[in-house]
Structure 1
Amino acid sequence: MSTRRIALTVNGTRHEAEAPVRQHLGDFLRGTLGLTGTHLGCEHGVCGACTVLLDGRAIRACLVLAVQAEDRAVTTVEGLAPSPEALHPLQAAFCANHGLQCGFCTPGMLTTLEEFLRDCPDPTEEEVRVAISGNLCRCTGYDSIVAATMEAARAMREAAA
């Protein structure tokens, strides 16, 4: 299989590595860079478990080739927290509101919601439900995820004020 040397910034750190030209970004992040927070579920773009931010926008890492991320910025769930000692407000709210159970969907939910709250800092519960409608969760029933998102939105607005 043909490979290509690519350079990209992941969670603020520049990486250069060989990537098979047909390897999707999710496998590159997990296998090559060892960032296993990005989960691979359906590998068809349906479940949302592999959602990461590419140049700040939520994308399915199973639908984008690693070579397409050349010279771009990727943020995974590992890159959301401001430091190893502190959680992102979404991460803290998910913990406080039982927004995670098995945890498989959580990284994709968090990255999806990071973009959503940046664009919609004062959402309604219905807007949150629409925002996560492309992310499947088999454990929570979504109510705790919505509650966590509403709490995180309040915390983020207060921190910005």
Structure 2
Amino acid sequence: MPHIVKSTILDAPTGAVWSVLRDFNGHDRWHPAVATSAIERAQAADKIGCVRRFKLKDGSELREQLLALSDLEQTFSYCLLDTPIPMFNYVAHVRLLPVTDGDRTFWQWESRFTTRPEDREGITQMVAEQIYQAGFEAVRHHLRGAA
């Protein structure tokens, strides 16, 4: 079972980073792979159990469900419900922590999932780089633009 753990330090306070990441339906405004996103059944984007349906720029559609969200701990967890990618049982966790030296943010993004043995290396690399690392860089750029 692949276990991906990626982290970064952002030159922004945790409150600023949390305001971007907390919106479970907001990743189409900052992630370069996401074209559109909508929460199903017009539910609030911070309601535990809400489902976001989004389209990637390549036309693929995915659905993810919010499993947990804590403003106090600045964490959230979600799972993948539907994807054209052969990955299963995907559960991810996002956590922010303050770096008091410079009022910066430590951001950790991790997941576990299963996949076919022949797809393991390629999918693990894709999630780590095209989703997580690209997301880190995109939020970094987004926050610079908002400043």
Could you say which structure has the larger radius of gyration?
1
TM-score by length of 2: 0.33
Instruction: Determine which structure has greater relative contact order: mean sequence separation of CA pairs < 8 Å that are 6+ residues apart, divided by chain length.
Output: 2
TM-score by length of 1: 0.31
Between structures 1 and 2, the one with greater strand share: 2
Between structures 1 and 2, the one with greater helix share: 1
